[in-house]
Amino acid sequence: MNIKKLSALVLSLTVAAASLAACGSSAKNSKNGGNKPDGSAQELTIAEGTVLRMACGYNSDKTGMSFTAELAGEGITLADGKTYNSGDLKPTWQTIEQLLGIKIEDKYQGNGAADEYQYWDAQMDQIDMLSGTATLLSENGQQGKLVNLANYLDSMPNFKAYLEQNPIVRLSITGAAAGPNAGAIYFAPYFDGVNDIERMPLMRTDWVEKLLNGSGEFTADKSNKTAAPVYTPFMPTSGSVDVDVVKPDGSASETISKNYDAYGNIVDKMNAAGAVDGVTAVNMLREYIDKTYDGYYGENRADLFIGQNAAWDVDELVALLRCVKANPQTLNGTDNVQGLFSREDSNNQRRVDMYRFAGSLFGVRGMESRLDYLYVGNDNELHDSRVEPQTYEALSKMHDMASEGLISQAFINQEDVNSEKYLTDDNGFMHYDYNQTQTAYNATALDNASGEKYMAVMVPVSRWNDGEEKYMRFTESWRSVKVDGWGISVAGVGDDTNKLNACLKLIDYAYSPEGQILMSYGPDDFIKHDDSGKIEMFTFNGNDWPVISDASYDDLWKLQNGNYTNYARYYIGSTISFVKS
């Protein structure tokens, strides 16, 4: 079926189901998730002390609602001044207890979402809420095992408003597109950030500056030779390409031109020269930048790659990687560096990031799909990138890069080399990963006093086919609904309206402005206030978020070396569900 028609059908069914719920339909259906005749359009009242049995967490016993002995030891005092022991609920969930007037029994087994759901599947009467994957929750919801949240949206104003403001989210979590449960929602979705780039190119920016910045020619006492060229140009070899960039001062955007007639394509030029010493390679790239961009970057040529006005493309990256590989003596004082690498070569989930990056470099859709390698094309049809020529052309180009040694030995040869140590050993140049978790190495592994920096850079310019070929920046790595969520057990809550209402109210509160702060940054005691007691805020993507307290900042580094996500999950109990800022 045409995807546009299918989407319209699903959306219309969703709206129809929501309209029925708004009318307070009292039809009881054993397959609709155990709805009660009076379930919708009523205030969610809860008896004080109502117990919720919650088998909910993120992916391990450390990322559940309660402290483990490993985390708490003989007692741990956090930024709120309170001491927590093994078995105690973490601060976020103690706050939820107080806000809702409930009692939480932590039933979480410490599993990932799929295993946690499967553990409880045969004993759903023993829990009221549980973690699961979107697929498992939707499938089992249609079997009547989970409450259909869509029938209670009028009693969940915050959750309802969030779905109305984000219709694609509602479409993404709709668990039944047709039949008596059309428009059903069987789980509360999890967002690990929303409407922001997820994976990004990251580089040793200080290395780029060492090679490209400054007046005059690059010099070095020693360098290696570049490998015999294998990779050939992807970008044009003549003519010009216009690219929009942010101005260096951030005040507006501007258009700059890649004028290939001024110097030629850098890969084409390097290939014609053959294997050259590292100094010659760097000076060729410097001259290319000066002429191709008509002096736009001045002596700060590194900004082509690392500035907010960056305009780099894959050919320029290949030229840079050749320079990096040929100049280890300048960069880290050894005879060898690694170019592109994967964070964990022993982990296929990380190795596949190299394939995802290929999509970004060569303008291939579907490489970052949540479902296999599927995507909806500009023709409104469903495509599988595994059967499309451009995918294999991109992978062939990546093979050419590997043949020159521009992709790490560990990735290609699976040698006994731990790629996780490339940054700590000052040996790796670049990979494609999460900004927040990977730039923590700036504090734990790199010598900032000498200028070492590992930073996210702008996504590359590539040739994308959006009905017509365009040279532009685009990424499929965009944050929306994750594959995990929390559902309400029909057998667990049974006929206990207090339990059902407590579950619904917890979900609804998590989507309120205050709840989104709690689920990202924890309780008020972990947040910074000015002298008048007002919360200090910062703005991101048009929304205001709180600054963490000084004590929380200290704990962040003391307990998790600057990795905020782990700190929040392990110790505060936030960022394990719902909306993470």
Per-residue pLDDT tens for 267-290? 999 999 999 999 999 999 999 999
The mean-pLDDT minimum among 173-182, 215-224, 241-250, 383-392 falls in 173-182
Over residues 528-554, the mean pLDDT reads 91
DSSP for 363-420, written as a single string: T-TTTT-SSTTEEE-TTS-EEEGGGSHHHHHHHHHHHHHHHTT-B-HHHHH--S--GG
Q: Is 161 exposed, middle or buried (0-12, 13-18, 19+ CB in 10 A)?
A: middle
Pair of tokens at residue 115: 């295993």
**Residue 516 near residue 574 (C-beta atoms within 8 A):** no
Examine the pLDDT at 499 and tell me if it is beyond 80. yes
Q: Report pLDDT for 407.
A: 95
Provide the CA 367 distance to its chain's centre, in angstroms.
15
Per-residue pLDDT tens for 336-373? 999 999 988 777 878 889 999 999 999 999 999 877 89
Over residues 538-559, the mean pLDDT reads 91
Domains in the chain and their CATH numbers?
Answer: 3-195+480-519+564-580 (3.40.190.10), 199-473 (3.40.190)
Over residues 119-141, the mean pLDDT reads 95
Q: Report pLDDT for 162.
A: 92
- In the block, tokens 């994308």 appear at 464
Examine the pLDDT at 51 and tell me if it is beyond 50. yes
Over residues 18-26, the mean pLDDT reads 31
Over residues 462-490, the mean pLDDT reads 89
Pair of tokens at residue 418: 């731990």
| Bridge partner list, 455 | 203
| Bridge partner list, 540 | 543
